[in-house]
Amino acid sequence: MSVESPAEGRPRRLVGGWWTPAVGTSVLGLYGAFQLESSEGLVRHSFFNDVAPPGAVYLLLAALVGLLVYGFMRHASLWMIGQPHHQSMLRDVPQRMRNAMRLGLAQDKVRRDRYAGLMHWCIFSSIIVLTFVTAQVALNDDLQLNFLRGNYLLFFRFYGDLFGLIGLIGVGMALNRRYFQDYHRMRWDERLEDHLIIFGLGLILLTGFFTQTMRILVEWIPAHEDWARYAFVSYGFAKFVELFDFTEGQILSAHRFMWWGHVGLAFSWLGLIVFSRLDHMFFAPINAFFLRTDSPGRLARIENIEEREVFGVGQVQDFTWKQLFELDACVRCGRCTEVCPANIAGQPLSPMHLIMDLKAHLSAVGPSVQHAGHTGGDTRAVSPVAMVGDVIKDETLWACRTCFACVQECPVMIEHVPTIVDMRRFLVMDEARIPATAQQALENLETRGHPWRGTSLERTSWMEGLGEVPIFDGSQEYLYWVGCSGSLVERNLPVTRAVFRLLRESGSTFGVLGQEETCNGDPARRLGNEYLYQILAEQLVQTFKEKNVQRVITNCPHCFNTFKNEYPQFDGNFEVLHHTEFLSGALKDGSLQATHRVDASVTYHDSCYLGRANGVFDAPREILELVPGATLTEMRRSMSKGLCCGAGGGNMWQEEVGERRVNHVRTEEAVGTGAQQVISNCPFCIQMFEDGVPAIQPEEEGRIRPFDIAELLEQSVFGPGGGEAAQPVTSTAGAPD
């Protein structure tokens, strides 16, 4: 159908309408809105001349732009007190742009919560589309293009109303979640601005529709009602208002009131960006661009550590500028705290509140640090309180498992774990404040080359009864890295033997270091002793190079992560496989045959450093699928949403403070599946389940049994009597005391 443009028909007395829902979404929209009204003659009405002359909109626009620029500069000046970031932002630009689009603009992480994902899509898509609608109005008028006519004008009205309605649906979903659902995290840090944002956006959209409704009543329905129907939402409102038989003068007055109310709301709402979490609309895509392009499991190296006067982060200016930027990106949504294992167990850590406390501290002392820096004063003497110790309590930092659940869930890409570990480094290396049991583990690392206290085992104890165990000499394809837990904790010896038997059965060539093994330093780095970690790492990298190590297979995900992601910082570049990856490949290529049935119902626990930190989720499940008779039941929290066992971040060597132990919470989830066995891939996880199961299931009969996936596969490959995994193991010798 070809239609005549209203501009070609008769003069219009009312304008606005299809673009007005977008006025509150962009500065360009406000500019275009006023221009259209002015050109159509509405502002020549005495109401506008007497109450709000045309220049008023430009003054408001200039004030808003100035406010936004001021707010950004105020934020930026505080970020700049931080240290240079360890990774150049000019590297991997294509990947960074993809992150900005996918994680920032497309809000990929929000979709992990389906309700929130749909809600954000409704609101964000309406903002984008209605901004485009508004921009077209501005271009149509300012450049005299006159393209808003004919059939496109009708389509223009349709999708303008459609996305205005979609925006209102999103606002309704947000109101429902905040005020009617029992959604506790919404109230963890509730502020007045939260209510102003949601109600303000809803009012902007509604007043936009009401403005168009008045236009349709006076101009469109009398002359071209069939055109009016394309603005289907506003047309529906108009037909309802018609029932009240208002006069044209009353409708004109209502239009003026609605339009200026709409513009006032729009300016006010946009002004909130400077003072509220609305700034995440800009900061989230920027932080997505800044997001690291290497593995999340890699912690930053302290360069030239021998020359440093301050280790780690003890004051706010010790953070990098990116870490300070992240403080402003936080939207206080609580997703990080909701998935934090320490918080779930009632322990003294909320990642959201940690970030917000740091942000408040930055606002409080940042200007003084700036002033001291500009005037040559002592920037370390300006704060009346200690950031680490007073603002952020020691017990808060030690409760962190470095499990990356908070990092995984954060919709604005805040990296909490490096920030926490940086403050731990200050506690350990500058203040010497560390839990006694953790200090003992570090002392053992220094003197004995492993963190375990009280063990009588040696690095070669696991070899007993296995026949000839090849020592790596550089000619073999793989180095089988057993690790401290695999060789010095009694419960894990069967796991090490199972992996050894399976490697030998696969026909691959491999060797071990035996007595030459020493800790790779992971516990020291996670506990905050970066100095000790670097010594251990440099020594082991040198050993690997001397022995011509090219490919490594590990039992432990922590060793896997350290070799794969952190040793390249010390020129240690090796191909690293976790044993689940190797075994899955061997089953697929036929070098291993899982022929014996293992009739057991199992549930699988994803270890944090294999799963979230390195994205290995499929290989272990592929093994389970290929074991005849094994049936898998997933826990409620699994794969990237899996819950930590509680041992990470050096908590294997600490006493837990709080209402419950994390491993008890996770064990409850495993027991809740009704499975006979809980299968994992990490020696720490196995130990934590061995401790947690008796606490949750005091009666031994019917108790769920923890196994490594290699122990399960060993039974299937060699038969019921072919491996130690067939026998129950309850000993926990070698655990810290």
Angle at 695 between CA 691 and CA 701, to 5 degrees: 100
Per-residue model confidence as pLDDT tens digits over 32-87: 333 333 333 333 333 333 334 556 666 887 888 899 899 899 999 999 999 998 77
Q: In angstroms, how far is the first alpha carbon of the chain from the final one?
A: 83
Q: What confidence score (pLDDT) does residue 221 get? A: 78
82: CB partners within 8 A, 6+ apart: 317, 318, 319, 320, 321, 322, 323, 324
- Name residues whose C-beta falls within 8 Å of residue 329's C-beta, 6 or more positions apart in sequence: 279, 280, 283, 284, 286, 287, 412, 413, 414
pTM attached to this predicted model: 0.86
User: What CA–CA distance (Å, rounded) separates 354 from 194?
Assistant: 20
Region 294-305 average pLDDT: 91
Question: Tokens in use for 587?
Answer: 């089953």
% of the chain exceeding 90 in pLDDT:
62
Q: Report, as an integer, the average pLDDT of 239-247.
A: 88
Res. 302: pLDDT tops 60: yes
Q: Render pLDDT for 190-233 as a digit per residue (tens, 0 to 9).
A: 788 888 999 999 999 999 899 888 888 887 777 778 888 888 99
Is-contact 84 323, C-beta < 8 A?
Answer: no
C-alpha distances out from residue 443 to 436, 447, 448, 453, 515, Å: 10, 6, 8, 10, 20
pLDDT band at 187 (very low <50, low <70, confident <90, very high): low
d(CA 520, CA 569): 14
In the predicted model, is pLDDT for residue 662 greater than 60? yes
Average pLDDT rounded to a whole number, residues 118-146 = 82
Which of 373, 261, 298 has the alpha carbon at shortest distance from 537? 298
- CA 105, CA 89: separation in Å to the nearest integer? 19
Q: Is the pLDDT of residue 246 over 80?
A: yes
pLDDT band at 136 (very low <50, low <70, confident <90, very high): confident
Per-chain mean pLDDT for the chain: 87
pLDDT band at 182 (very low <50, low <70, confident <90, very high): low
Would you say 81 and 273 are in contact if contact means Cβ atoms under 8 Å apart?
no
Q: Which of 135, 117, 120, 137 is nearest to 201 (CA)?
A: 120
Burial label for 281, CB within 10 Å (0-12, 13-18, 19+), is middle
C-alpha separations of 114 from 103, 125, 201, 462, 612 in Å: 15, 16, 22, 47, 20
pLDDT higher than threshold 50 for residue 621:
yes
The three state secondary structure string of 377-390 is: CCHHHCCCCCCECC
Q: Are 148 and 140 in contact (CB under 8 A)?
A: yes
What local confidence, expressed as pLDDT, does residue 327 receive?
A: 96
Which pLDDT belongs to residue 277?
A: 87
d(CA 60, CA 139): 20
Query: And the tokens for 297?
Result: 């499991």
pLDDT of 722: 64
Per-residue model confidence (pLDDT) at position 245: 85
Dist CA 463 CA 496 (whole Å): 9
| Neighbour tally for 683: CB within 10 Å | 30
**pLDDT of 183:** 63
- Percentage above 70 pLDDT, the chain: 88
DSSP letters spanning 548-581: T--EEEES-HHHHHIIIIIGGGGT---EEEEHHH
> Does residue 701 carry a pLDDT above 80?
yes
Question: How is the chain split into domains, by residue range?
Answer: 6-49+57-62+113-275, 289-433, 439-726
User: Exposed, middle or buried by CB within 10 Å (0-12, 13-18, 19+), for 551?
Assistant: middle
Confidence of residue 737 (pLDDT cuts 50, 70, 90): very low
Domain 289-433 CATH (choose: 2.30.30, 3.30.70, 1.10.1060, 1.10.260): 1.10.1060
pLDDT digit string, tens, across residues 575-595: 999 999 999 999 999 999 999
Cα(28)–Cα(119) distance, integer angstroms: 25
pLDDT at 149: 81
Residue 117 has pLDDT above 50, yes or no: yes
Q: How far, in whole angstroms, is CA 637 from its chain's centroid?
A: 16
**Residue of 495 and 374 predicted with greater confidence:** 495
- For residue 192, give the 3-state DSSP assignment: helix
pLDDT of residue 26: 39
Q: What is the pLDDT of residue 142?
A: 62
Higher pLDDT, 556 or 253: 556
Residue carrying the six token digits 């026998």: 727
- CA–CA distances in Å: residue 566 to residues 164, 533, 712: 49, 11, 30
Range in 133-147, 240-254, 579-593 the model is least confident about: 133-147
Pick from 474, 24, 66, 584: nearest CA to 265 = 24
In which element (H, E) is residue 28 found?
helix 27-40
Band the pLDDT of 560: cuts 50, 70, 90.
very high
